[in-house]
A = this chain, B = another copy of it.
Amino acid sequence: MTLDTLLQTYKLEVTKPQNFKDFEVAGIAPLEVATPNHLSYVDQKSYLKKLKDTKAGAIFIRAEFVSKVPASSLALISPNPHLAFAQVSEAFKRAMFARPIEPHPPKLAEGVVLMPGVVLGENVEVGEGSVLMANVVVGDGVKIGAHCQIYPNVTIYQNTLIGNHVYIHANSVIGSDGFGYAHTAQGEHVKIEHTGIVQIDDDVEIGANTTIDRAVFGITHIKKGVKIDNLVQVGHNCVLGEHSIIVSQVGLSGSTTMGRNVVLGGQVGTGGHMHIGEFTQIGGKGAVGKDLPPHTNYAGAIPAMEIHEWHHFLATLRRFAKKQKPSLIDKAKGLWKR
């Protein structure tokens, strides 16, 4: 689809530059990896440092930043570039999967076992000795290495890459859409199509009923030897370092990254875009609200107390805190308004 057709199809009101020249849009991409055939966007000031080196063919951008766009890119002025980008992203969706396998039959290596009810999409490859158990569904273009075991009722979305000796337990979902939307002025949400994938390296084990979302662009990366328990959520674009251990019911927000041999206790949650240093451990129920250094132990869950002690504990602390004056730091941060 050409750029002009895209703009018309999605009824986007953008101001085109004087040097506008239509071209065939191959896809959408972030500034740093976009080619002259890609469409990209600038939403915040923090993107500007990536702007000067971008190769993107065209860029949605607010009027105030337009002077920073390189001569090689077309600046498309929009009051809400993120929303415009989300709207056109729909054209690059690849949601169909697990269609009947003709005319692109799977490549199955020696010793592959497909149990009853397995459904494979187009262009699937499965390596030597891997077993796909009953009712597993595998999307188009998925590659599974050798000696893997995929337990029953697992769903693997399109284009996922899986290494060797990977075990995925029953009813888990790999490669589902990340949770990302742009927002209209009326408070509606426009889906950002996730065109990235999930990549799982060798020797990874993933528990039952766990979900791993694919990247917006690029990859959600589960590195070698990582072990993930049941009912864990791994958001889009997360990077899990080698041999990390993720205990049950952990929730990793989008773009959480971590070094090797991190250990996260049960029900830990992370805010988005945070990094956990290698070999760091976080006790069960911990809330990660900032980057954490390597080789450190963290904890933070209030234990259940006898219920009368608990009510007294909480009431006392709230009363105490209310009586304290805010610190100068709190005032400077604007954290205090009463």
Partner of A308, one of B119, B209, B337: B337
A266 to B288 Cα, complex, angstroms = 12
Instruction: Work out how many copies of this chain go into the complex.
Output: 3
- Answer whether residue A20 sits at the interface, using C-beta atoms and an 8 A cutoff: no
Asked whether, in the complex, the Cβ of A170 is within 8 Å of the Cβ of B173, the reply is: yes
Q: Report if A253 contacts B (CB, 8 A).
A: yes
Interfacial chain B residues near A266, Cβ < 8 Å = 233, 251, 253, 269
Asked if B269 contacts A289 (CB within 8 A), the reply is no
Chain B residue nearest to A97 in the complex (CB): B133
A240 CB–B CB distance under 8 Å = no
What's the dominant secondary structure at chain A's contact region?
Answer: loop
* A287 touches which of B304, B308, B337 (Cβ 8 Å): B304
Residues A313 and B302 in contact, CB atoms below 8 Å apart: no
Chain B residues closer than 8 Å to A330, beta-carbon distance:
311-312, 315
Find the residue from A95, A171, A290 having the highest chain B CB count within 10 A.
A171
Determine if A335 and B308 form an interchain contact, defined as CB atoms under 8 angstroms apart: yes
- Contacting B at CB under 8 A, from A278-309, are 279, 282-290, 292, 296-309
Q: Which residues of A contact B (CB under 8 A)?
A: 95-100, 115-117, 119, 131, 133-135, 137, 149, 151-153, 155, 157, 167, 169-173, 176-177, 179, 181, 187-189, 191, 203, 205, 207-211, 213, 225, 227, 229-231, 233, 235, 243, 245, 247-249, 251, 253, 260-261, 266-269, 271, 279, 282-290, 292, 296-322, 324, 326-327, 329-330, 333, 335-338
